Amino acid sequence: MTGEQGPLVIILGPTGVGKTSLAIELAGALKGEIIGADSRQIYRHMDIGTAKPTSAQQAMVPHHLIDIATPDYRLSLAEYQDAAYRCIEDLHQRGALPFLVGGSGQYISAVEEGWSIPRVAPNPALRAELEAYVAKNSPAALHDRLRQVDPMSAGSIHPNNVRRVIRALEVHSATGRPISELQRKRPPPWRIIRLGLRLTRSILYPRVDQRVDEMIAAGFVDEVRRLLNMGYARGLPSMSGLGYLEMAGHLLDDVPLDQAIQRTKFSTHEFIRQQDVWFRGHDNGILWHNVAEIDGGALAQMLRRWLARGDAKTTIETADEYSQDER
């Protein structure tokens, strides 16, 4: 990272809340470019189920870190962080305003907080052993093993997030040290403003349910069928994304489609709750906005004033005027 205090706008929030459309509006108004912070939109061939920006949307504003890997490539958090840093520095050098946009909290936190991520290569044999342990016992049982060697990480990783639990155990096995100890933070030198988008769950849940129905109508089942036919097994991390595992169950295990759809909706609701927990635990000054009342033009004006001021602070007056936090 360079030492220059260039600006960075972060737009975050739960899945389906409307981050993409707002980011395109703001980036278009402010000569910005969008850097994706979505752990599934990085994969090629996975378009419908990830709600990836359409080709028309990507033509309106340049997008980065979308379609950068095949579904069988295990992109590490360190690789994503490095790629995001390169993008941000490149945009600063070109005089463009970077917008980091997405709902993958770990991606966003790694970038904005400057995580020092252990460069420990994957251990396929150990991962297979731990996955078998989960299958025989339970995610909670594996989480207990992590708690014994790294209670700090166990306290921050949900027991159902088996991939992260396995990674923490993998790092401890390779280094003999807790991953929490190795994950030092060195915040980047940029001026950062964080815009969070919210909707009450009574509005958001029906909205994402409708989006799942629209994905099905747009050919989501066929998209998953193509991925399976291309040789991308449902056990891949990429295929654990919302809806992909459920549609694979429909295609491979004869799960009725209506059941697979309902499971996708329930999984999406649970994911939204997990996102909320993450953002609350990593709130570094997020200005929250109710999407039902948001004014894109006013937000653009706020950002212009922030950019012109040239400091790293967002005043209390600005937060009061433009943040519509749900209380």
Residue bearing the bigger pLDDT, 187 or 260: 260
Burial letters 265-289, b for 16+ CB under 10 A, else e? bebbbebbeebeebbeebeeebbbb
- List the single range of 178-187, 209-218, 264-273, 303-312 with lowest mean pLDDT: 178-187
CA dihedral 13, 302, 322, 284 (to 10 degrees): 50
User: Could you report the per-residue pLDDT of 219-234, keeping only the tens digit for each?
Assistant: 999 999 999 999 999 9
Would the pLDDT of 319 be above 70?
no
Which uninterrupted H or E stretch holds 97?
Answer: strand 97-102
Contact in structure between 198 and 216 (CB atoms under 8 Å): no
pTM attached to this predicted model: 0.82
Mean pLDDT, the chain, rounded, equals 91
Would the pLDDT of 321 be above 50?
no
| Mean pLDDT for the stretch of residues 112-140 | 91
| pLDDT class of 24 with cuts at 50, 70, 90 | very high
Domains in the chain (CATH in brackets) are: 7-116+185-201+276-322 (3.40.50.300), 124-182 (1.10.20.140), 212-272 (1.10.287.890)
User: Could you report the per-residue pLDDT of 91-118, keeping only the tens digit for each?
Assistant: 999 999 999 999 999 999 999 999 988 8
Contact in structure between 319 and 288 (CB atoms under 8 Å): no
